[in-house]
Chain A
Amino acid sequence: MSDMNIKEYIASGILELYVAGTLTPEQNKEVYTAMKAHPEILTEVLQIEAAIMKLSGEVSPLSSNIDFQSIRNELRNPEDLDGAYKSTTNWIKYSGWAAAIIMAGGLMWTVSQMNELNEELKTVEITKDILEQQIENANTDLVEANKLISVLRDRNIISVPLTGQTVYPSAFATVYWDQNNESIYLDAQGLPEPPEGMVYQVWSLKLNPLSPTSLGVIDDFTEDENKIFSIANANASEAFGITLEPEGGSESPTLEQLYTLGVVETAP
């Protein structure tokens, strides 16, 4: 697709319908391929999605987000075991049940052993996924990519995922913290372009009590191609956050404009 065609493609309105989910499976595949090939198409889709998410979120009468607890309960007790049988004493039936329960117990043990193994396998896969993703993101700039791989391979690097907050739930970023060299690499590709006159400011946070230290503002967000920023950080950070601030940055973070936040997991 040429630049002109990309503009036309975006202007056609197909991406809005893509988010609504009214396209045919073939069209969906086509949009997906186009998004992968052209970042500006992906950005457009993310913004359309953010608008619909914001609108529907506002329609919800709930003042805050819904607690995950009800899901947690469902996960713990999927279905109440119904005592549907009658209470006539029938020892043959009971012994049948007992045998079944013992067998089920044995089966469950085997399954749990298997799950444990699967879990280990998954962790490896996830680590692999993250590496692949980061490499893919950086492949436009070979020098950056090489640097990034060396960072990712370093055992001493702590990876801190920052997730989107109320103001922009689909935002995300990752901090790779190199404690030995007192620096972080911030992968901010999941943040939207800041509006005119505003910049992102990166904060190192201590949690108890909450005290932020500015790590600086990202002046060149729009110009930077791969959205990976190297920033000095000599703090004993417990969390990282990114806020949107007026040009030049602020003394303290504007919490209403907190885009992403992530807590540093301490080593076990």
Chain B
Amino acid sequence: MTLDTLIVQFQNKNEIAFEQLYNMYAKSIHGIIYSIVRDEEIAEELVTDVFMKAWSNAESYSKEKGRFFTWLLNIARNTAIDKLRSKSFKNKKQNLQADFFVDILESRSNLNRETDSIGLSGFVKHLAKKCRDLIELLYFKGFTQKEASESLDIPIGTIKTRNRNCIIELRNILDV
């Protein structure tokens, strides 16, 4: 079964297709949300929200507009950021720090080096600082090229090629 077919079935409200797509993407979506809200349980609830939103708005997705994963990513970031801004969340998390995904990986690999399955501690060391920042902003935070260029203080024309090189580096490290 191809991904396209699965998505069509999903859009036709087929729950089996829904479950398969969920199994493919839920963990990544959880990672993205967790990097924003930094609370495992809230992140898990939000993953449910994200997929329910995707389910009820399934017809608004079209493959001509972009990858299905990218579409989910977008919903996930928006949902997580909405939660961050909500009152209940602010009350719960007084001292939330805008930590980067690398900090999450780093702290975990310090805690438990043995179970670090793909050598993420090594990964953190090997990926250049400028790459971590850029990947964080573009993929985890959903910044536009313009916002990223302003935030990192680099010319907007540099974003595209630098990001390409960073993703190549990431792919080498992750062996994808």
Contacts and interface: CB of A to CB of B under 8 A. Distances in A.
A and B interact physically: yes
Interface of A: 11-14, 16-23, 25, 28-29, 32, 45, 47-62, 65-66, 68, 70-71, 74-75, 122, 125-126, 129-130, 133, 161, 163-164, 169-170, 172, 174, 190, 192, 195
B14 A122 contact: yes
Contacts, number: 184
B151 interface: no
B70 A57 contact: no
Contacts of B120: 58
Interface in B113-134: 118, 120
Interface residues of B, number: 68
Given A13-B164, A58-B31, A68 B23 contact: yes
B18 A62 contact: no
A13 B14 contact: no
B97 interface: no
Nearest to B116: A58
Contacts of A61: 34, 40, 104, 108
A40 to B, nearest CB: 15
Contacts of A122: 9, 12, 14
A49 B4 contact: no
Contact of B25 (A53, A55, A133): A53
B170 interface: yes
B69 A53 contact: yes
A192 B171 CA distance: 13
